[in-house]
Structure 1
């Protein structure tokens, strides 16, 4: 019997845990079961207490103290340790198809772009057998990135890298829409749903630097961020990244506002479609009609 799950991922600060909490609340209000798995060994605060928590198994602070590692190195060690002790996931064995298993992932994008730990974990979770989870990935990118085209295309490139490396059904989501809905017209925002190179032609961040009198100096100090980011080399880099993304034509975005129940429901419907949740549900029998004896 298959199980169903979604792996919520993305850079630090994009609202992954907030989305997980909104998703769980929405499922509970609609009488659906959720099983919350925290795989971020550095997470501290939860709106919903995890049903399974990597911090109870291998806390990041202990790894950093004992092995004298930094946060990134410590997190990679935690995942390497987890892959050697996959019995951590044994509590998932008893779950039925009624549950949506929500994996709350850490924010280090190295895990999604070039370190081959997550593909191995996903193969374990999805392989036929005790778990056999129909899994999809939800990659979040903060909607405020659209104000700075360089951040937007860099985030889109990381989303595309995750799609290529993880090889699972994939949703790309612009989170925190409530922060930008009053700053940009809906008509203008539609341009960011499917990335294209023309977005670089009217970069407001570049215009702001020009208004601020930042001049381009080919011999600028590498520590002078504003001067470097207004230079031709930086523009060529962004254009190259945008062209690469457009040539693959893989990334498009959904919009998410966790303060809006309809927005959360819309994202959940896409998740259900990716994992084919409703196809596995038993059809409900209609109540029998009662007839009076003639």
Structure 2
């Protein structure tokens, strides 16, 4: 199948670990082998089996206690330490051969927006032959306010440019959003899945202080010119929603493209497959 995987990123509290749990459970039910790699040295609780855990190498508490860093500084130090000891990660994931890997990452967005550590880590995986898609998870509560949503768009765009990976943006917790609107998907959600920044700008302008208008207008113009960010809604209670998100990511990294052609079940063992294909192709 080739070495494939997902880099699950996004702000703290956006639902990354729940996403990893959901995808892992769904794949297990489908008989598909997936391993989750925890890259968050500050993580404490997991609802999925952890195949590889950065905390076996270093924990953020160690960096804070020994080096007297704060939480963010300690986390960045841990990621630097991981890169300096990349052979540990190479050995750990080497046991899985060509299995599909999901990397559950920390919630500090500077790691994906301007600090180069995660990009360097992806370079290492590329050298090992992995094809990785970045999956940027954003809480659906961001759609409650156009200004917040435009901020989420900027975060996604920055991560796309920084990491230079096949990219899919996922709007998480849509099941919660539905529950808040009587169990139905709210009509306004469609406006945010393939957003029109200039239209959002018009909605914001009526309540905006005039001194911020020009800056916000420039940001909307930037997002509109790039037109690279769109979102897939994820309802973890809906199998079709999970399947659509996963299949989109698989397509982005061409997972399954190298599957061998299997002999049709109705053919007898002694029938040559090439002869059968030739027969089917004749009028």
Q: What is the CA–CA distance in structure 2 between the aligned matches of 1:92 and 1:169, rounded to whole Å? A: 21
Q: What is the CA–CA distance in structure 1 between the aligned matches of 2:59 and 2:269, rounded to whole Å? A: 60
The CA deviation string for residues 200-235 of structure 1, in whole angstroms up to 9 with x for no partner, is 3334xx88xx7xxxxxxxxxxxxxxxxxxx522334
- Which residue of 1 is the match for residue 268 of structure 2? 289
**Pairing of 1:141-220 with structure 2 (within 5 A):** 141-181=138-178, 182-183=180-181, 186-195=186-195, 196-203=197-204
- Which residue of 1 is the match for residue 95 of structure 2? 94
The CA deviation string for residues 173-201 of structure 1, in whole angstroms up to 9 with x for no partner, is 11111122354865422211222221133
- Which residue of 2 is the match for residue 2 of structure 1? 2
- Which residue of 1 is the match for residue 241 of structure 2? 263
* Of 226, 237, 257, the match for 2:215: 237
User: By how many angstroms is 1:258 displaced?
Assistant: 1.6
Structure 2 unmatched runs, 5+: 271-283
Aligned length: 264
TM-score (norm 2): 0.87
CA separation of 1:282 and 1:20: change in aligned 2, threshold 3 A? same
The 8 Å contact of residues 153 and 238 in structure 1, kept in 2 or not, is answered as no
Structure 1 unmatched runs, 5+: 211-229
Q: What is the CA–CA distance in structure 1 between the aligned matches of 2:134 and 2:46, rounded to whole Å? A: 21
User: By how many angstroms is 1:290 displaced?
Assistant: 7.9
The 8 Å contact of residues 177 and 185 in structure 2, kept in 1 or not, is answered as no
Q: What is the CA–CA distance in structure 2 between the aligned matches of 1:290 and 1:179, rounded to whole Å? A: 51
